[in-house]
A = this chain, B = another copy of it.
Amino acid sequence: MPSASASRRSQEKPREIMDAAEDYAKERYGVSSMIQSQEKPDRVLVRVSDLTVHRADEVVWVRARVHTSRAKGKQCFLVLRQQQFNVQALVAVGDHASKQMVKFAANINKESIVDVEGVVRKVNQKIGSCTQQDVELHVQKIYVISLAEPRLPLQLDDAVRPEVEGEEEGRATVNQDTRLDNRVIDLRTSTSQAVFRLQSGICQLFRETLINKGFVEIQTPKIISVFRAEDSNTHRHLTEFVGLDIEMAFNYHYHEVVEEIADTLVQIFKGLQERFQTEIRTVNKQFPCEPFKFLEPTLRLEYCEALAMLREAGIEMGDEEDLSTPNEKLLGRLVKEKYDTDFYILDKYPLAVRPFYTMPDPRNPKQSNSYDMFMRGEEILSGAQRIHDPQLLTERALHHGIDLEKIKAYIDSFRFGAPPHAGGGIGLERVTMLFLGLHNVRQTSMFPRDPKRLTP
């Protein structure tokens, strides 16, 4: 394990330095032994986000990562990072720090985790590069708690650089495979921190809204005998994704369900715009994009209306043809121009392009009681009234050439009285991607799986 022994070698450094001259600060820095819960010290660690002018002149302990370090004569400036917050720290030769201690601080590998004791000092000029702009930390003690290897596979500053800026100035950006191969580092960037905090918010808002509407959360089995086959080699497919599914009995018309689902998504959008402005702004710095727009009530178009819009724009399509991805996106642009919304419902899909369990439209045998929902021109939900009559379900399965034996349990479940019902499945990664205007669903899946990727 060469890298492991490299890490051991770095731990020897302070001793080498100590040999060089008497060091009056030698107890004030070094590499701590591994934390194995040996003791329970009283020490309180202050969070980086709490380092503000309210704590000016206080002595505090902070645990954080070394984001950057820059030595300059008898001083060393560190940026210390903790999740999405960072603060500037200064180690300067003086009463508390020796020359050796400054050198030690300057040589700590980036991304190492350190415990720092320091005095919070108000600064005269705002520190634009840090989230804590009004204070800096004057370091009195610094100990490495967990040492990073010296060569990082990617630089965090490169990983948050907008692509255009990188191209114009000839500065580095990080390609997607490098990011995903080193996801534990890529997840530390301000952009990733914001993306996944916002995603957590989507889950929270989704459940909050539905629990308030009287829904019950259930867990469905993932081990089933037939998996759905779909092409996963695209910017928006994964072999594994998180589905936020809603199923609901309705009284007389599946639009009752469509309205509840659309309202749930609207509550999510509103909640994100209310509670996650910081995260949205952070992601926008790297991936600029227009704020997400939606209407209340949600715009609902029928499939035939969409076809007319596309044909008017020069697209040739049959009445019973499904939307291709380019046509979906074009339609999104046309709808945005006409209705000024990034979110809409496309209702009454041709029966021919939907699964066998989709309820046919009794007024038009070529149509179905089914719908998709779109964000920025891409599908994020597919749903329908489900057939709740075992005889019609059997007929439709036979029409699709499906082996009845394989879906016996499904058909049988409707034999003992079933209410009319409808539902839909929301793709969590897609909602996150499209709300933030990102371009690949792998950016919004923590450890994405596709036909070419099973690790990390």
A residues near B (Cβ < 8 Å) are: 1, 3-5, 7-8, 34-41, 43, 45, 63, 65, 109, 111-113, 145-149, 152, 184-185, 196-197, 200, 203-204, 207, 211, 216-225, 239-240, 242, 251-255, 359-363, 369, 385, 388-392, 394, 409-410, 412-413, 415-420, 428, 445-449, 454-456
Q: Which of B219, B254, B360 contacts A446 (CB 8 A)?
A: B219
- Point out the residues of chain B lying under 8 angstroms from A4, CB to CB: 390-391, 394
Q: Given A40-B253, A216-B200, A253-B39: A148 and B415 within 8 A (CB)? A: yes
Task: Please list 7 pairs of residues, one from A and one from B, whose beta carbons are closer than 8 Å in the complex, sorted by A's number.
Answer: A7-B391, A40-B253, A43-B252, A63-B251, A146-B419, A204-B211, A221-B449
SS class, residues of chain A in contact with chain B: loop
* A416 lies within 8 A of B111 (CB): yes
Chain B positions within 8 Å of A204 at CB level: 207, 211, 217
Complex alpha-carbon distance, A43 and B252, angstroms = 9
Q: Whole-angstrom distance between the alpha carbons of A242 and B33 in the complex?
A: 37
Query: Which residue of the partner chain, among B360, B390, B454, contacts A36 with CB atoms under 8 Å?
Result: B360
CB distance from A138 to the nearest CB of B (A): 22
- Assembly of this chain: how many copies? 2
Partner of A149, one of B43, B147, B409, B415: B415
The residues of B that contact A221 with a CB separation of less than 8 Å are: 240, 446-449
Which chain B residue has the least Cβ–Cβ distance from A448? B221
Contacts of A455 in B (CB 8 A): 225, 409
A351-B363 Cα distance, complex, nearest whole Å: 69
Q: How far is the CA of A203 from the CA of B217 in the complex (A)?
A: 8
A146 partner residues in chain B, CB cutoff 8 A: 388-389, 417-420
Nearest B-chain residue to A42, judged by Cβ? B252
Contact of A216 among B196, B385, B410 (CB under 8 A): B196
A447, B220: Cβ atoms under 8 Å?
A: yes
Residue of B nearest to A44 (CB): B251
Task: State which of B252, B448, B454 has its C-beta within 8 Å of the C-beta of A41.
Answer: B252
* B456, A412: Cβ atoms closer than 8 Å: yes
In the assembly, what is the distance between CA of A39 and CA of B218, in Å? 31
Instruction: Tell me whether A218 and B200 are in contact in the complex, defined as CB-CB below 8 angstroms, given that A146-B388, A255-B40 are known contacts.
Output: yes
Least CB separation from A203: chain B residue: B217
What CA separation (Å) do A39 and B361 show in the bound complex?
11
Question: How far is it, in angstroms, between the C-alpha of A443 and the C-alpha of B439 when the chains are bound?
Answer: 43
CB-defined contacts of A385 to chain B, threshold 8 Å: 36-37
A126 to chain B, nearest CB (A): 27
A184 (CB) vs chain B CBs: closest residue: B413
> With A223-B239, A416-B184, A456-B412 in contact, do A369 and B216 touch (Cβ < 8 Å)?
no
